[in-house]
Each structure stands twice: as C-alpha cells, then as structure tokens.
Structure 1
C-alpha cells in the first residue's frame, strides 16, 4: 500500500496485530547491539512493551541528556492513559510517542529541499539540518505529530534512534539503555536472529496508523491483549 498525501492526512489511528506464543525469556535477555558499519543494509526498529513500562520517564530524561535536546521540545514522550479500574485497584497504560521511522515516510515525500530523508543503509528517517529551510511541511505531513522545530538551530528535529550519539559509539539508543524495566527492545529487523525479531515472533504487537501505508518501525506490546 502506497502512502499518498490524501491517505496520510486522513482519519484516526488503526492497529495491526501479529500473534504468537508468548515467550518467557525473550524480554529478559539483553544483548549488546553491534551496530557499527557492517556489510549489508540494516532496518532498525524498536518495540515498546506497554506491559513493562511504568511511566517513570527515565527514557525521556536520557534522550534529552544524550542528544542535548533543548528545553520546551522533546524527541520522546510517554503518554499516560486515563485511570483503568477502581480505587484501590487502579492501573494506567503508558505508551510511547516518538518518530516511527516509517518505510513510506510522509515527511520525506513532502520535503522540498531533501532535508528530510530515509537512510537506505539503516532505515532511519533523519534530517539534513544544513538543507532545512524551516518551511514546516514535514511537521504538517507527519501523521504521528512527532516532529518539531529545534529552537537552538531552527531546523526540523525528532528522534533518530540516537544515530549521532549512542549509535555512533556502538551502543543502544539512550532510551533503551536507561529503561529500568527493560520495556524497550531495539535492533535490526533484517536480521532473523536479532532480539527484536525474537520478540516480534513471540508476542502480540500493534503499530499505529498502519492503514495509512506508512509501514512504521515502532511496534508496541499492548497493555491489554485484544483491541487497543
């Protein structure tokens, strides 16, 4: 399904599920990601486990610190749901809001200068800051509303999986490293043996607004299985 201007500007979100047998050790095993330059293209993706997230926002703090994100803007947000249940048995659902690193990225399609682009070697959607003219087309086109203007340099900005910071040093993204409950999994979707594929093959997951044809690379394990 292609992503046209018409379909990415339409309607509310949708979800897609893949089913599998729930794994027991998958989410508990953590491997160091060797993501320095290697032969073959990668396709980086991330999983946010809503059943493990406690809404502590350690991920947002780490992201801001490592990537020097100015006050007043954010590459990553943790959204808390309305209360579920009755006192004293009240629960909340925490979900991640950040760049989806779409395979068919609307922000890239509408950028008039080529500042917004998808790196074909990693699948990461990023910004050439020296090409950004601040037109705001990418901000308007993003169905997930996760882009912003960086007040420090005036260019479009967003999550890039810590490409210029942690990834450049062969480490996991700052949010993944800092999560105390291991609610985040990051890795290469093109690698059948990667941890992220192990989780995707053994958990129920969904993605936001897949009906738009964006093919997002941010997957979520729902707080409650079934309809989200």
Structure 2
C-alpha cells in the first residue's frame, strides 16, 4: 500500500517553492502570535486554550490540510499528468494510499509540531495543554488530509471547496451552531485534547468515544472513496 516513487513525486509536489511557502507561513504566524501574547500577557491556561483552539485547531490545521490534501493529487489530475502515473503497473488504491500517507505526514509536521511549540511557549500548566492540542492537531490532520485528498479526486475546484469547508464550516458554523458541532473534525479532535489535558478550559461537544470513532470512520471512508473514484478514471485506449 506504499510506493516509494509515488511518494517521492508527491513530496516534491507538496514541498515545491509555492506550496512550501504557504505551509511555512501559517505555523510561523502562530509562533509569532503566541510569542507576542506571552510577552504581553505571560502564561495563562485560559489564554493558551483559547489561542490553540481558536487559531491553531480551527484555522491553521484545516488550512494546512487543504494545502497538503488537495496538493497531493489535485494538480496532477488538473494538468493531466495523472495519466502517466495511472499507465504504470501500480494499483490505483496504492497510488491513493501512498499519496494519503504523504499528505498526512506533511500535515502532521506542519500542524502538530508548531502547535506543540506554541503550547510550550504559552502553557503555564506543566505543558499539559501543549501536548493535548498537539495530539488533537495530529488527529485532525489525518482526517483533513483524507477529506481534502478525496476532494482533489472528485473536483477540479478542490482548493476552493476545501477553503470554504475549512473557513466556513470548521471555522464559523462548527463553532457557533450547536447541532453542527457534532459533525466537525475540530470538535472530534477537541474531545481528545479535553481528555488529555483534563483542564476545564478545554471542552468539546462530543464524547471521546464519539470523536475517535468519527475521526477513524471519516478517514477510512474518504480514503476508500478517493481510491474508488480514481479506479473509475479511464485512460485513452482502455476498454
């Protein structure tokens, strides 16, 4: 389920000059913000939880997921380069699983690690919140990578759809509308952060069991559906 050549090509596509710049900008912005907050307000658990949830988990993580998930396969489909890859004797499910693993790796590195560093800068509670939100960011990155990779297979406008989902659903509706919160990747991952931190300032609208089950289910279904749709792509000359 992992092909080294496909992985190498995907890494090159994701870490090219333009996408790498976008991937570095968001974590850098987070670290600049938390450094300024630390200098001005000092260490505070409530501020740490609000900032890591309000910016890192609800904005930075899904946006990086959009960049990594759609960028892993979308551009190849858009410019037609995918036909050269599909013509090789490689299972299409292997192509999808490899690209998904690469997207997950990139998302986790650029999401979870900066979240951990930001939490360590701000956290006044023995780094519990830093670790809790870093684990939550990693869990959310896995689900987002699968969702946005699936969108990359389904539509040529995956980036636009992904941005609308990330900014409107996860960033606004998922934080405001009570019923929508149970269908939010942010809330599912926040349940993990709540359990690890054991801090009253971290709350989720779903239980830990519900959050973990939905994260696993969405990741599996999105990955399967992306592989299924890729199998339906026909090359010229195929029967």
TM-score interval (norm. to shorter): under 0.3
Q: TM-score, normalised by structure 1?
A: 0.25
Pick 1 or 2: higher relative contact order, CA cutoff 8 A, min separation 6: 1
Whose strand fraction is larger, Structure 1's or Structure 2's? 1
Could you say which structure has the higher helix fraction? 2
Q: TM-score, structure 2 length as denominator?
A: 0.24
